[in-house]
Structure 1
Amino acid sequence: MTSKTKLKPLILIPAALAALALSSCSSDDDAAAPSDPTTCPKEAPAPGTKADWTLQGKTGTLDVVAPTDDNAPLITVQGPFTVDQTAVKTLKEGDGDEVTEAMSVTVCYQGVNGRDGNTFDNAFERGEPAGFTPTEVVPGFSKALVGQKVGSTVAVAMTPTDGYGPSGNPQAKIEGNDTLVFALKIVDGY
């Protein structure tokens, strides 16, 4: 893979970051209003929310609670968690266009290191989705996007080869043999 498929510094090429969040005021009336599609929800799922995907790895186990319009995902690693093959799971299928490699997408995502369960990048925490094409991210993230429909929520557990490869990403504390996990929502595609 070329260097442009590496996530820089964490998931995206910095120039691809989109400042899409809109400012809004909160009121009691907002509870009934639909979520703003240009922001990522920051609220954690309720305690005890059942996992939408459980994956037994080569070592360890992974549980993912899917993101919703109102809640960020919850990724729980019991491990260290590793996989021999990249696994992609559609948690909820959207109803938009199918994502292609040539498309630009806007995505809310959280990335967790399978070695220690630590989050290394989190658009949900920032409250802002990021914009990029599937060719601008690591191969495993691209595999989680291409072929999905806009509006889908997806989880991926990727091999080190489909992540940062043998060099890892020291800035993000990712080692060359780390399995990476992402939970994401494809907000828009164009």
Structure 2
Amino acid sequence: MTQAAGPDATCPTAPPANPGAPEWTLPGATGSVAVTGSTDTAAPVVTVTAPFSVAATQVHTLQAGSGPAVAPTASVSVCYMGVNGRDGTVFDSSYQRGEPADFPLDGVVPGFQKAIAGQKVGSTVAVAMVSADGYPDGQPRAGILPGDTLVFAIKILSAS
């Protein structure tokens, strides 16, 4: 059984006209990050004071959903934006593409799984993950170097 968050299941591409105060502000071991989650009509805003790094992966629920909890082995459909803490660049974003990404949670980097598993469908979450939970050896195509802290803003559309 698949639970969908919305009838259109697209990811909004435009940033909010007035994002207001961030829903999560996290001082890091170095730098800081401020995250405002997405809405039905606007993409999230992730503002990095670089270089941002964390000593341990941290997950924060920006807006709790009302759907069922996501199992650690579920396949999910999510909208997400990934930002490199080292320089604040967006290295991957389903919001920019305007469509959700679908994948099994046991097939993604550990930090992404930690962010989503146990959350309710419809939730908007953010995660700041240590390199070991992201790409410990880096991901050259995405400009990620070994040791980079990654920040994701994620909206969970559905899980099955």
Superposition TM-score tier, normalisation by shorter sequence: over 0.9
Q: State how many pairs are aligned.
A: 155
Q: Which runs of 5+ in 1 are unaligned?
A: 1-34
SS in 1 for 2:115: helix
CA RMSD of aligned residues (A): 1.1
User: In structure 2, what is the equivalent of residue 98 of structure 1?
Assistant: 69
Instruction: Note if contact 2:24-2:34 (Cα within 8 Å) is conserved in structure 1.
Output: yes
Instruction: Note if contact 1:58-1:84 (Cα within 8 Å) is conserved in structure 2.
Output: yes
Instruction: Note if contact 2:76-2:104 (Cα within 8 Å) is conserved in structure 1.
Output: yes
Partner AA of 1:126 in structure 2: R
Counterpart selection for 2:91 from 101, 111, 120: 120
Q: TM-score, normalised by structure 2?
A: 0.94
Instruction: Note if contact 1:101-1:146 (Cα within 8 Å) is conserved in structure 2.
Output: yes
Partner AA of 1:79 in structure 2: A
Find the structure with the greater CA-based Rg.
1
Partner AA of 2:113 in structure 1: S
Greater percentage in strand: 2
User: In structure 2, what is the equivalent of residue 55 of structure 1?
Assistant: 26
Instruction: Note if contact 2:58-2:128 (Cα within 8 Å) is conserved in structure 1.
Output: yes
* Aligned residues with identical type, % of pairs: 53
Partner AA of 2:145 in structure 1: E
Superposition deviation, residue 180 in structure 1 = 0.1
Partner AA of 2:151 in structure 1: V
Q: TM-score, normalised by structure 1?
A: 0.79
Indicate yes or no: 2:111 matched with 1:170: no
- After TM superposition, the runs of 4+ consecutive aligned structure 1 residues lying more than 4 A away are none
**Match runs of 1:8-23 below 5 Å:** none
Instruction: Note if contact 1:37-1:187 (Cα within 8 Å) is conserved in structure 2.
Output: no
1:41–1:153 distance in 2 versus 1, CA, 3 Å: same
Q: Which runs of 5+ in 2 are unaligned?
A: 1-5
Q: Give the distance between the partners of 1:168 and 1:105, measured in 2 at CA.
A: 25
